Amino acid sequence: MNGPGTFNKYPALFSPIKIGGLELKNRIVMPPITTNFPDKGFVTDRLISYYARRAEGGAGLIIIEDAIIDPPRGCYHYEDIHIDNDVYLPGLRALASAVKSAGASVAANLSHGGRKSGVVEDGQLIRSHGTIPVAPSAIADPFPGYIVPSELTIDEIEELEEKFVSAAARACEAGFDVISLHAAHMYLIDQFLSPISNHRDDLYGGDLDGRMRFLLEIIAKVRARAGSVPLMVRIDGQQYMPGGITVEEASEIARRLEAAGVDCLSVSIDPTGLGFLPLDPSVPQAASSWRGPWAAMVHLAEAVKRAVSIPMMTANRIVTPALAEEILVHGKADLIGIGRGLIADPDWPAKALEGRETSIRHCIGCLRCLDVTRDREALRCTVNPAAGRENDSQINPSSRRRKVFVAGAGPAGMEAARVAASRGHEVRLFEKDTLGGQLKLASIPPGKKDLGLLLDYEMGQLACLGVNIEMHELTAETIVQGRPDAVVVAVGSLSGRLMVPGSESGNVFDIRQVLKGEVEPGKRVVIIGGDQAGAETAEYLAQKGRIVTIVHEGRQIAGDMSGVCRLELLERLRRLGVRTMVKTKVNMVSPEGVIVETRGERRTLSADTVVTALPPEPEGALAGQLRGMNVKVHVIGDCSKIAGLAGAIEDGFRAGLKV
């Protein structure tokens, strides 16, 4: 409901829509995203709280993460929901009830991994728990680590169809409003649909009639068993690989699905394309990073939508309510998937409806939520430490208003100030240099502008909460005079120092000086240190026409990054001609350049400018001065331990809850 004096700026986004016989209150849908919160297939209290919180925030439909219809053969994450047995019904029922009680409709997303269920790590077959996976054809997924699956027999295909039908009936019994079939992302149903993975020569292969038979038979049997329950199918709008599904074929698939009685379609893309592509930035990825354009897959939904009359959903980095409204107004889609956006801020819908869109804590596209789940960890969000920990992360008013001083207006300090002020404390925030600290600098390299969304959010919240920002250093004398109840020290880190002969020469600078624009590097630049900061600075300088070499003692460039973001960065460095040298030690800096040693061989790298990007060191001076003073001190962020942006935000959030 709109707040007093507000006007709905997004009438299309907040208009109701029907999926079959079910009316959704608005067009905002949370697509399925893996959390690893289930436990051995069972729904957990943590999972229920997580989804209920997103429903409370105002989404019209929550599509729960993939529910596996045939474990262990169909599992493709480390902790999936199982829906193959009545033993899981109590948890599924509690989950559906919690989401609906919180105000949203709820969908079960039925899936089977097929050939994606078998991955070898450290010599062991994981995810499918040692079971050889099955698929339409005995063709392994092209991404490294996947094994060759067993080709399904006709009897096994019919058995799997029945498992989908039983799962759908079980979801209805549990109280889910919508049944969604996952026929995208090269999981089992999509493996039947795609000519890349389906090489069968029987009635389940060959032309589109054969390749669609598995899915169409599932739909017919679900309709016969589950009646008029709204049915949704997620398909690939295009497969960006040789011989894959084209947008024209996706449109024909959509036509046939509508004719079969499907009530709604969701268009995505197949992320398996990452195994074929050199990470071409012009090609949308299934979960684009901060480097990718916003709404990169909308054109596919728009194209497929022309072929059908049923509602069409699009997703992928639709960051702002204004962008969502524009997509709907121009008829490119009927439903807007906000996945990572609702992880970052469950109240995204409510804030948009109430005219508070400037207070939305936007997803920055860092992909941490996906990377950690791929690494067998529970979902976490860089900008929202409460995601997945809703029960112990509530910001409640303090029983007593306290005076809190925060030293350092980087991400840790700003978050601590925000949370403390939200609890009713009087907060003074001190910064001697630049508001935003390392966050401000990190947003300078190419493609990092979305980090500015987080800085804008923090600054806006501090202004709304009345936090007093003072642009000078917090000293022990100020603390003695001000007599705060608590001090939060978040002064960040010092640049890592290069300790070799010649390191004090006039052509050696650190990356902070370069990113601040305090120095203008020469034509030939050697960057010493190849972690993320050094690698991104290399890209920044290479795009400005510098000839850049990265020298790194470690085994791999940007080794402190993971997943797609790292692969994208390495590909861009390659295209820019950045030379990288790993397992290489710097011996000295000379007037001619940098003398390095690799495998016992010494050489001189010509350089006009040397830029150091070495691991930073915690800044401990202020914390040391405060020891022994009669004040409660919380030391957080990089001045406590170097933990990057996610660690800084987490520290700040927790400190704000404690003061």
Residues annotated as part of the active site = 187
Report domain extents, the chain. Answer: 17-389, 399-493+619-658, 508-615
Q: How many Å apart are CA 489 and CA 411, to the nearest integer?
A: 12
HEC letters along 381-426: CCCCCCCCCHHHCCCCCCCCCCEEEEECCCHHHHHHHHHHHHCCCE
pLDDT digits (tens, 9 = 90+) for 542-570: 999 999 999 999 999 999 987 778 888 99
CATH fold match for the domains 17-389 and 508-615: no
- Give the pLDDT mean for 7-17: 93
CATH superfamily ID and name for 508-615:
FAD/NAD(P)-binding domain (3.50.50.60)
The answer to whether residues 404 and 658 touch, using CB atoms and an 8 Å cutoff, is: no
CATH class (in words) of the domain with range 399-493+619-658 = alpha beta
Q: pLDDT (tens digit, 9 = 90+) per residue, 92-124? A: 999 999 999 999 999 999 999 999 998 777 666
Bridge partners (DSSP) listed for residue 605: 594
Tell me which long-range contacts 626-633 makes (C-beta under 8 A, separation of at least 24). Answer: 626/476, 626/479, 626/487, 626/489, 629/476, 629/479, 629/480, 631/479, 631/484, 631/485, 631/486, 631/487, 632/485, 632/486, 632/487, 632/659, 633/486, 633/487, 633/488, 633/489
Q: Which of 201, 226, 203 is nearest to 214 (CA)?
A: 203
Q: What is the pLDDT of residue 277?
A: 41
Whether 475 has a pLDDT exceeding 60, the answer reads yes
Mean pLDDT of 232-252: 94
Q: Which CATH architecture group holds 17-389?
A: Alpha-Beta Barrel (3.20)
pLDDT tens sequence across 377-433: 999 999 999 999 999 999 999 999 999 999 999 999 999 999 999 999 999 999 999
Q: Give me the pLDDT at residue 371, please.
A: 86
Q: What is the pTM of this model?
A: 0.93
- Burial classification of residue 210, based on how many CB atoms lie within 10 Å of its CB (0-12 exposed, 13-18 middle, 19 or more buried): middle
pLDDT at residue 476 tops 60: yes
Task: Assign 279 a pLDDT band (cuts: 50, 70, 90).
Answer: very low
